[in-house]
Amino acid sequence: MATTEIASTVPAAQGQIADSCVMVIFGASGDLTKRKLIPALCNLARDKLLSGEFAVIGLATRDLDTESFRQKLSEEVRDDTTTPAEAAICDWLLQRIHYVQGSLEDPQAYQRLGAQIAAVSKERGIRANHFYYLAVAPRFFGEIVRQLGAAGLAREDGGNWRRVIVEKPFGRDLESARALNADIKQVLAERQIYRIDHYLGKETVQNLMVFRFGNGIFEPIWNRRYIDHVQITAAETVGVETRGGYYETSGALRDMVPNHLFQLLSLTAMEPPISFSANAVRDEQAKVLNAIPPLTHEDVLSRTVRGQYGEGIIGGAPVPAYRAEANVAPASSTDSFVVLKLNIDNWRWAGVPFYVRTGKRLASRATEIVIQFRRAPFMLFRKTGVGDLTTNQLVIRVAPSEGISLRFGAKIPGPLMRQGAVEMDFCYADYFGSNPSTGYERLLYDCMIGDQTLFQRADMVEAGWTVVTPVLDVWQALPPRSFPNYASGSWGPKEADEMLERDGRVWRETGTA
């Protein structure tokens, strides 16, 4: 089969084929394009979900043209292809990639972009549908949208659509998030704005709604009567690597909590939506975020922990402290570790704490949601050999090994009444197999078919920052005195363990099956 026919002649394996459209990547010469976006598009083409009437235009400041840009991507993408079929798919996509050189702040660059879109659309027979991916620093978000509006590239007419995917972080605090929302909405309607969170591209995250609302045994016990507490962890073994300059202006709290972790929290805690339509789901997520009482200044001191990694051992090799990383201040007070103890002030979750934890240079890489159920009454076992009852624990593993495990107690074989903990474990790859995935496939596809379910809405963004901003304010007013306060390769500062110990609880050994 000729490579020009790959995406158009075979029906999609599942779902509808994406609309005929042009994808424009701002900041196309950067790392995200080669590592995630182009491989994700190749995977969509492999699964027959891309239209044959499709093209990509990259815009960046680097002095490249279409041929040199294609050659650059070809060398980078081919390293990940393992079969001739995959190579053919990559070739098919590369022939549909074009490049425009220009500054993000230059109106002439947008005129050249418009001309390139028109020429490519005519050549490929593509409908006048465009979506723009802002793979750039956050300071350019508002500027790019303003320039698109001024050039007429955001205007929808004749039944065609224009959409913009905005990378995180969306704002630095509540005030800046509100300002950015207002700025963008001068040009775009909310239905055109796709605030992306790549965590929501994970199968396990998408499965949360199916798991909760499609199984009769879980939803009846998904509340304060049966659940003791919830732990949500996003742990990384890597440090800031080449992102020291960005991280110095962000830190773990800004970088991870109002987007990634609050998305996981809201999907875990939300009420059943009336349907799987985008706004029905996001209405329920927004209700959860609005039900989290912002922490007072006193709460911040007792219900949050921040940390910064020192030197240590990861994977048997020594690694430097955060302050020794490139583009990091020698006396930096930037947080690389965060714990928040939050409550959701509604009927379902009254009195159930949600412990949210994230950090870099930790003992293992894992993103998990832990549902810790209440302990059963012990009186029946008082005169047996059972010393303590195993508590039930449900673990939803988001990364790196996606799956779900359930811990419960069972009698140990023998003449005595003794109990042991056992686990039932489900792994996605074992049951359904696995295809190469970047986590961006579903998100790009959803943008092309107009499904905003897995993208943040303006009110959700602002609700998240409403919770986080008081913490930022207190931390700015009271600089940390003990940084660095945890060794690389550990599970963070001792204060994180002490917070749960005061509540009679412990962290799960994250990363274990």
SS3 258: helix
Tokens of 179: 């300002």
Tokens of 476: 């700015």
Tokens of 380: 């029946």
Task: Please classify residue 203 by burial: count the beta carbons closer than 10 Å to its beta carbon, then call 0-12 exposed, 13-18 middle and 19+ buried.
Answer: middle
**Positions at the binding site for substrate:** 198, 202, 236, 255, 360
Number of other CB atoms surrounding residue 170 within 10 Å: 26
**Positions at the binding site:** 27-34, 168, 198, 202, 236, 255, 360
Which residue in the list 98, 130, 229, 260 is annotated as catalytic? 260
SS3 318: strand
For residue 344, CA distances in Å to 174, 254, 270, 288 come to 19, 20, 10, 7
- Given a contact cutoff of 8 angstroms between Cβ atoms, the answer to whether 103 and 145 are in contact is no
Tokens 């002439």 sit on residue? 108
- Given a contact cutoff of 8 angstroms between Cβ atoms, the answer to whether 29 and 64 are in contact is yes
Query: Where do runs of H (alpha helix) occur along 53-189?
Result: 66-78, 84-94, 107-124, 141-150, 174-185
Tokens of 228: 């003791």
Tokens of 12: 């999609």
Q: How far apart are CA 457 and CA 460, in angstroms?
A: 5
- Given a contact cutoff of 8 angstroms between Cβ atoms, the answer to whether 245 and 327 are in contact is yes
Contacts of 276 (CB under 8 A, 6+ apart): 209, 453
Q: How far apart are CA 74 and CA 271, in angstroms?
A: 46
Tokens of 478: 């009271």
**Positions at the binding site for NADP(+):** 27-34, 168
Tokens of 374: 């209440």
SS3 34: helix
The verdict on whether 260 is a catalytic residue reads: yes
* Nearest residue to 142 via CA among 94, 193, 80, 184: 184
For 44, list phi and psi in degrees, rounded to 5: -65, -40
Beta strands in 248-319 (DSSP E): 304-307, 309-310, 312-314, 317-319
- Given a contact cutoff of 8 angstroms between Cβ atoms, the answer to whether 161 and 450 are in contact is yes
HSE-up of residue 96 (Cα within 13 Å, Cβ side): 32
Strand order, beta sheet including 227-235: 304-307, 337-342, 354-359, 227-235, 366-373, 393-399, 403-411, 419-427
Contacts of 11 (CB under 8 A, 6+ apart): 17, 48
Report, as residue numbers or ranges, the catalytic residues. Answer: 260
